[in-house]
Structure 1
Amino acid sequence: MSGEVLSQNEIDALLSAISTGEMDAEELKKEETTKKVKVYDFKRALRFSKDQIRSLTRIHDNFARLLTTHFSAQLRSYIQISVSSVDQVPYEEFIRSIPNMTLLNLFYVSPLEGRIMLEVNPTIGYAMMDRLMGGIGISHNKTESLTEIETKIISNMFEGALENYREAWQSITDIEPEMADFEVNPQFVQMVSPNETVVVISLNTQIGEVSGVINLCIPHVVLEPIIPKLSVHYWMQSERNEPKQEETKAIEKRIMTAKIPVVAELGQSEMTVEEFLNLEIGDCIALDKPVNAPLTVMVGNKPKFLGQAGRVNRKQAIQILDHDIRGEEDGE
């Protein structure tokens, strides 16, 4: 059967056509049994599974939130960035889809090989620069005549955002993003072969009244060493793994320095409220233990040891004699 899901209107129309005789149910069965040929374009090889694409979407959702906070603080203006789409396309197709003159930030992500491209629509880039220089965030598209100062300001602005990219990938792998180059003409950038599959993450960006798109182009060769880590199964399995040695030592240190109450109990007694109210100075309360019986040492309100009262260096003390059976029976 086909994997396509029909809407309720389509189902109603299909049932109506069968009931009126416009469509024959037997012919439908024959069509289902007939083998259908699906066209496959080898230039658009899908090298990432849906599971891996979902993982990349989650990572860059986090990156978009971090960028929103980063640029909002830096530009002191309303910024909203969100993931609009995640697609895998040939590199040549991506280059054709972006403007002839745009803002291209190329950066390394050591220890992974290759480079990642951060393409910023000029409308967005100039609005950011205008806001950074004290303006109200008006965009002027003059990419062809960028001065050295403008180039440096824009590249520095996005270089400062690379720390957010490192943080977004922390749950998968440790990377060290480093800005490599800045270009305005996509034809001068040849990261991989034209038919190489790349993942394109499009980020909708809103700066005040100005809106545009920021694209992240990640070649397959960059992600190839960590592709197994992009599956949900691997991620959930890694969550169940034992904690790292550093984390274990930190937990042990906190446990060892934690304070718990230790109380030596002389004994217990019960009385009525009337007896309690009639107590006077000099009255004696009889406990439920003989004078020579060992004391119960309570640790965290649980009976743990048996002890004997004494004194050490003019201070009251308890000498531990044995374990309390009641505590062992309770599994303490």
Structure 2
Amino acid sequence: MSKILSQEEINALLKNVGQEGEKENYEVIGGNEKKVSPYDFSHPQLLSKEQERMIENIHENFCRTYSVYLSAQLRLLAEIRQLSIEQFSYSDFVSSVSNPSCLYMMDFEKPNGRGILEMSSKLNIFIVEKLFGGQTLFKDMTEDREITHIEQKVMKRVMDKCFSELTKAWLSENDILLKYGSFESNPDYAQIVSSSEPVVVVTFEIVIHGTKSYMNICYPYNWLSKVMFQEEFQAQMNDEKNETSNEDQESVEEILMNTQGNLSAVLGSINLPIQSILELSEGDVLVLQTKIESSIPVYFGNKHIFNGNPGTHRQSKAVKITKVF
């Protein structure tokens, strides 16, 4: 005969349904059940949500301005996206960096400190090659080695601009200055703080021709805390959050004006059934719908922007523009 459960037993069963994996989050302390939240001391959560949003806004501005510069230098579209903001101990960050890599030491002023910008060697080699006119695609790059002293000198100009844009993003009118310090390829030699100190790592994704690479910026938490707790800094962040500088607009306009497009002139067209198309052979004449005295359309991409008259110019076929839409 089946046993009839009491109300207390039913309540106990309902409480435990679907919560087997959560039992470990509760402990009985002093006769009372209390929730226990796990805390990982190797990844200390020192930043508040508001501070993380502040850092995110700062680096979104940096992504926009530096991607414009990088696209202009490489003469192709380079897109930079911010992926994450994470907190580690410095030893964990160093152990996550491959060897060899490209570690650019940043010197901070007002307040003083040091940080690291880390990029892959493969991306650095590709940038140097493109600056010298190379035609290799980023997806075809297989070389991943320590960059030479000559390549470091070439990359210094690129990184100086990077730190300049990063300084602007951190509001340089507050006298915050980030500049190029030195270069290291071995992460074990890049010591900016003690191994147990907390750092904040901002990770970026760089997309070139559909191929992805990554860049990390490592800030010591002690330096960040000095900057972000300044009242003037937080006030200016609120004032300038939605402003777009004239320099950004001019940079975008310059890239657009130098972008090459395809112009095509359509001589005419004709509609034929599939059977007639299959029966066409060499020597057949197609009578187009365009009249001899009619102008022909000129397209930019798929947009009809001009009309013109076909002709010749110095033994080449040409079109004279007669109307602009």
TM over 0.5: yes
Following TM superposition, by how much is the alpha carbon of 1:239 offset from its aligned partner in structure 2, in angstroms?
4.1
**Structure-2 separation of matches of 1:171 and 1:149:** 31
2:174 is paired with a residue of what secondary structure? coil
Following TM superposition, by how much is the alpha carbon of 1:221 offset from its aligned partner in structure 2, in angstroms?
2.0
| Aligned CA distance change for structure 1 residues 238 and 57 (closer, same or farther; 3 Å) | closer
% identity of equivalent residues: 28
2:157 is paired with a residue of what secondary structure? helix
1:25 is matched with 14
**Structure-1 separation of matches of 2:111 and 2:94:** 22
Contact preservation (8 Å) 1:110, 1:177: yes
Is 1:56 the counterpart of 2:55? The answer is yes
2:123 is matched with 124
**Structure-2 separation of matches of 1:84 and 1:117:** 17
Contact preservation (8 Å) 2:116, 2:219: yes
AA at the equivalent of 1:75: L
1:71 is paired with a residue of what secondary structure? helix
- Aligned ranges for residues 266-281 of structure 1 at < 5 Å? none
1:175 is matched with 176
1:76 is matched with 75
1:65 is matched with 64
Number of equivalenced pairs:
217
**Structure-2 separation of matches of 1:218 and 1:156:** 22
Q: TM-score, normalised by structure 2?
A: 0.60
| Aligned CA distance change for structure 1 residues 102 and 239 (closer, same or farther; 3 Å) | same
AA at the equivalent of 2:143: N
**Structure-2 separation of matches of 1:184 and 1:236:** 37
1:301 is matched with none
2:87 is paired with a residue of what secondary structure? strand
Q: Which moved more, 1:193-202 or 1:122-131?
A: 122-131
2:127 is paired with a residue of what secondary structure? helix
Contact preservation (8 Å) 1:159, 1:179: yes
**Structure-2 separation of matches of 1:192 and 1:23:** 52
AA at the equivalent of 2:164: E
Which one has a bigger Cα radius of gyration?
1
2:256 is matched with none
**Structure-2 separation of matches of 1:166 and 1:207:** 24
1:319 is matched with none
2:36 is matched with 37
Following TM superposition, by how much is the alpha carbon of 1:207 offset from its aligned partner in structure 2, in angstroms?
1.8
Q: Which runs of 5+ in 2 are unaligned?
A: 1-9, 27-31, 241-325
Contact preservation (8 Å) 2:201, 2:218: yes
- Aligned ranges for residues 154-169 of structure 1 at < 5 Å? 154-169=155-170
- Aligned ranges for residues 206-221 of structure 1 at < 5 Å? 206-221=207-222
**Structure-2 separation of matches of 1:215 and 1:64:** 12
1:17 is matched with none
2:287 is matched with none
Contact preservation (8 Å) 1:78, 1:207: yes
1:99 is matched with 98
**Structure-1 separation of matches of 2:179 and 2:37:** 43
Following TM superposition, by how much is the alpha carbon of 1:77 offset from its aligned partner in structure 2, in angstroms?
1.1
Following TM superposition, by how much is the alpha carbon of 1:44 offset from its aligned partner in structure 2, in angstroms?
2.8
| Aligned CA distance change for structure 1 residues 102 and 236 (closer, same or farther; 3 Å) | closer
Contact preservation (8 Å) 1:123, 1:210: no
**Structure-1 separation of matches of 2:67 and 2:52:** 22
1:160 is paired with a residue of what secondary structure? helix
Q: Which moved more, 1:64-73 or 1:165-174?
A: 165-174
Per-residue CA distance 1:160-208 (angstroms, 9 max, x = gap)? 2221111111188332222110111101111111111111001100122
| Aligned CA distance change for structure 1 residues 23 and 218 (closer, same or farther; 3 Å) | same
| Aligned CA distance change for structure 1 residues 171 and 178 (closer, same or farther; 3 Å) | closer
Contact preservation (8 Å) 1:51, 1:231: no
| Aligned CA distance change for structure 1 residues 209 and 126 (closer, same or farther; 3 Å) | farther
| Aligned CA distance change for structure 1 residues 172 and 195 (closer, same or farther; 3 Å) | farther
**Structure-1 separation of matches of 2:96 and 2:174:** 30
AA at the equivalent of 1:130: E
Q: TM-score, normalised by structure 1?
A: 0.59
